[in-house]
Structure 1
Amino acid sequence: MAAETAPGPRQPLWFLSLLALAAAGGAVAYVPFLTVLLPLRVVSLTGSEDVVALSFATFLGAVVASLANIGFGWLSDRTGSRRGWILAGLVSSSLLLLLFGQVETVRQLVVLIMAWQLGLNMMLGPLAAWAGDCVPDEQKGLLGGLFAFAPALGALSGAFVTIPGLADGQERLALVALLVAAMVLPALVVGKGRSLPHLTMPTDSAAGSPADPFKQRRIIGNMWFARLLVQVSEAALFAFLLFWLRSITPGFGEDRAARIFSLVLIIAVPIALVAGRWSDKARRPMLPLAICAGLSSLGLLAMALSSSLNGALGGYFLFGVSSMTFLALHSGQTLRVLPRPQHRGRDLGFFNLTNTVPSLIIPGLTLTLVPVFGFSALFLLLAALAALACVLIAIISRPI
């Protein structure tokens, strides 16, 4: 058992921080572009808020991203060169990002988005796998906590590049590319030789994994479905937060909604750090995940039952902080449960589907429930999904 073995080699905090900074650079690469800069570019091309064009572009981009993440993860497994793929993805995605200021038609925009997603996931897929090559199980909780900086910095970068007078359309694209390079390159520069042999040695099963292959598959399956269920809830609130708040208080400002969302991201960071560090020391990697999923369900239930703005916001804060903490810690612990280091990049690509599939589920789910039953019915369903995620994680939550 892991508890009976001497501690293995560990990574210094500064390197874990650089890995987390690189992961945050991945978020900065797409969050401000997809949420702010792309919609503005669609408006400049069509002369209106063309929802159909934007939806079509983001849908095809998400499909390409899903396949590319798996493909480049697999290629990095085969070649054994994570850092080379990360650097190639950083350069290609940055150059393609700069071209968005030159497109003249929606068709060109869609093609360029698909190409950009290829380059972006050439970086993101191997980057996640490289973290698994470098960070031992004893530090994966802390790594997950550090990953909580990624969504917060992604959101803040969108606010930064759109500061009035700071940069125009093309300059904003260049600014995003520079930010991403500044965040990803430090880890690549100092990371040579940081992979740990016992984490990269090909094997039939991971050290310390269950001897029963069916039990091992159940753990992986529970982790995958639990993340999908929480991601569906998180994606629904991300897409419809403003509409829901305005259904309670007409005229609720979008700037206020953005501040609330940013505050949730910021609060989640220290909580994820403390929970992740505790899970390492207590050797209970899954327990914080189960607790966070359960609290997310309670937050959604409070949102569904609340009739006042203060009660609704309280429920949203509980849900938002808990779900963001869950997703950050889950990213670290996923690296623990994958059984074969030689397939780590490919397998993480399949886990990445939990990030892209919800965008395909949410529109149909919302259109089915909200027009007829209101947001309360949607939140009750999402609360049930989060509760199921809690159960799935609790089943595999045990001391190590």
Structure 2
Amino acid sequence: MPVDNSVAREVTPPGGVRAWWVLAFSGATAAVFVGWYGPLQVLLARQVEGISPDGKESALALVTGVGAAWSMVANPIWGALSDRSGRRGPWVLGGAVAGGGALAALATVDTVLGVVALWSVAQIALNSCFAGLSAAVPDQVPEHRRGAVGGWFGFAQTVGVMSGTGLALAGGSVSSGYVACAVVVVVGSLPFALARERRRVPVREPARKPFGLLRHRDFVWAWVPRFLINLGNAVALLYLFYYLQDEVRVGDPAGGVFTLTAVYAVALLATVLVGGVWSDRVGKRRVFVCVAGVVMSAAAVLLAVWPTWTGAVVAAAVLGVGYGAYTSVDFALVTQVLPAAGARGKDLGVVNIANTLPQVLAPALAAPVVAHLGGYPVLYLVAAAVGVAGAALVFRVRTVH
């Protein structure tokens, strides 16, 4: 089968992007991540523990695993539907209202199956928002500004994670935490969802055959490094609580995870905007992605060879610096290798599988390493090796410098 190395015809005009649009876009992105991470960081665990205290670990795994599976399926479908409609805003609005409703309803259920069902609905709905927001960037933003806007995209995601966690903790109860997150999802999405779209979605191009994306070489080689880097990151973070408890011997591993998350977030915010703007100015993407991937892998190496609290704090800061630069520049790179301008939503949905699939695969890779193949030092060296492989493979992309 011949390989098609073409990318989407650039249809956005060469001008800039309005500041109000970036602000509304960032607000909606942060709102979606509040809806995701308030439950994932705090609320689901507390709710499941109250329902099934003796089987809380397996019950929470069921809830999050089923939700992640729905997320992988839903994102490309919502993206394809928004491509067909020619609009992104209505899909953001509909997803926010449905997702907020599902979060509010979660406050009322008292069975594990009820939590599974409503969290799945929330995941499906919020992916409608995320698919529309992701595709809006190549629709509305010229190539030479996508690193900067990708930086705001990553910045907003981090603010959403921190805000969602804060709302969940400040609410006082599981029910009030869900309601607070639901309100933020809807209200935060409204400015973007109701704004007039200055540049409409390109006219839909003829449908590709199944697996037709595999014929687009640069798209595949942009997807593979993203998958590997995210897999290495997922492996490194999966057992962080147990690493602090069993390897580092921290007295309060839960508090330790919170502290490391805060250190990571601050470091990420310090680089997420700088990396994107810098890559725009020099006109290069691949070298930034590669260096960022290597820096993230260095954090895993630190955890392997320096199993102390100080080492963990330094590793969290290093990981944040690397991931901040990576998340903005890699998103800009991916938007430049989309195969069809009229199928951006669907294709970015496929790209987003590279973010969610590692969450499913990481336990299968990490558990046997920890149990039988050398424990945490080997686990973190494996994570580093996977990340370095992903960083190196980004140079297989040829149409982007």
- Code of the aligned partner of 2:397: I
Aligned positions, number: 384
1:337 is paired with a residue whose SS is coil
Tell me the alpha carbon deviations over residues 215-259 of structure 1, each in whole angstroms, 9 at most, x when there is no partner: 982321121111111111222233222222233431342223212
Tell me if structure 2 keeps the 8 A contact 1:57–1:113: yes
- The one-letter code matched in structure 2 to 1:255 is G
Q: Identify if the C-alpha distance between structure 1 residues 200 and 286 changes in structure 2 by more than 3 Å, giving closer, same or farther.
A: farther
Shift of 1:385: 1.0
**Shift of residue 290 of structure 1?**
1.3
1:82 corresponds to which residue?
88
Any gaps of 5 or more consecutive residues in structure 1?
1-6, 205-212
Measure the CA separation in 1 of the matches of 2:120 and 2:299.
36
Question: CA separation in 2, counterparts of 1:33 and 1:346?
Answer: 27
2:174 corresponds in structure 1 to: 169
1:192-231 correspondence runs (5 A):
192-195=196-199, 200-202=202-204, 217-231=216-230
| Equivalent runs, 1:59-138 vs 2, <5 Å | 59-138=65-144
Using the TM superposition, give the Cα deviation of residue 163 of structure 1 relative to its aligned residue in structure 2, in angstroms: 4.0
2:148: which partner in 1? 142
Label 1:161 to 1:399 Cα distance change in 2 as closer, same or farther (>3 A): closer
- Residue deviations 1:91-119 (CA, integer Å, cap 9, x gap): 11111111112223222222222222221
Give ranges in structure 2 of 5+ residues lacking alignment. 1-12, 207-211
2:166 counterpart of 1:160? yes
- Aligned-residue offset at 1:81: 2.1
Deviation at 1:89, TM superposition (A): 0.8
Give me the whole-angstrom Cα distance separating, in 1, the residues matched to 2:263 and 2:70. Answer: 32
Comparing 32-41 and 294-303, the one that deviates more: 294-303
Q: Is residue 2:240 matched to residue 1:241?
A: yes
Higher alpha-carbon deviation: 294-303 or 54-63:
294-303
**Is the Cα–Cα contact under 8 Å of residues 99 and 126 in structure 2 kept in the other structure?**
yes
The answer on 1:182 being equivalent to 2:184 is: no
Partner of 1:289: 289
Distance 1:327 1:252, change over 3 A: farther
- Give the Cα separation in 2 of the matches to 1:154 and 1:71: 24
Determine if contact 1:232/1:358 at 8 Å carries over to the other structure: yes
Amino acid at match of 2:236: L
Query: Which stretch shows the higher mean deviation, 130-139 or 48-57?
Result: 48-57
> SS at the partner of 1:268?
helix
Q: Distance in 2 between the 1:112 and 1:215 partners?
A: 34
Deviation digits for residues 255-297 of structure 1 (CA, Å, limit 9, x no counterpart): 2321221221122123121111111111112221111012122
Q: Which runs of 4+ in 1 moved over 6 A?
A: 213-216
Contact 1:283 1:399 in 2 (8 A): no
Match of 1:379 in 2: 380
Cα deviations by residue, 1:157-204 (Å, 9 ceiling, x for unpaired): 24422445x4432221111012222322122233x13226xx725568
Q: Find the aligned partners of 2:237 and 2:297 in 1 and give their Cα distance.
A: 16
Give the 3-state SS of the residue equivalent to 1:119 in structure 2: helix
1:335 counterpart letter in structure 2: T
Distance 1:398 1:218 in 2: 10
Secondary structure class of the residue paired with 1:148: helix
**In structure 2, what is the equivalent of residue 251 of structure 1?**
250
Considering only aligned residues, what root-mean-square deviation do their CA atoms show, in Å? 2.6
1:38 equivalent among 44, 51, 62: 44
Alpha-carbon spacing, 1:214–1:230, altered in 2? closer, same or farther (3 Å)? closer
* 1:320 CA drift (Å): 3.5
1:370·1:378 contact (CA, 8 Å) conserved in 2?
yes
**Residue-by-residue CA offset, 1:346-385 (whole Å, 9 max, x unaligned):** 1111111112211221111111111230111111111111
Distance 1:117 1:214, change over 3 A: closer
Which amino acid is 2:384 matched to? A
Change in 2 beyond 3 A, CA 1:106/1:298 = closer
Distance 1:234 1:338 in 2: 24
- Where do 1:304-319 residues align within 5 Å? 304-319=304-319
- Bigger drift between 139-148 and 178-187 goes to 178-187
Equivalent pair of 1:60/1:114 in contact (CA under 8 Å): yes
Instruction: Verify the 8 A CA contact 1:230 1:323 in the aligned structure 2.
Output: no
Structure 2 counterpart of 1:359: 359
Structure 2 counterpart of 1:194, which letter?
A: R
Quickly say closer, same or farther: Cα 1:183–1:348, change in 2 above 3 A: same
Q: CA deviation at 1:142?
A: 0.3
Q: Call closer, same or farther: CA 1:359–1:215 in 2, change over 3 Å.
A: closer
Residue 276 in structure 1 maps to residue 280 in structure 2: no
Letter in 2 for 1:168: S
Q: 1:49 to 1:87 in 2, by over 3 A?
A: same
How far residue 307 of structure 1 moved from its aligned partner, in angstroms, is 4.6
Identity among equivalent pairs (%): 25
Secondary structure of the structure 1 residue equivalent to 2:391: helix
TM-score, length-scaled by structure 1 = 0.88
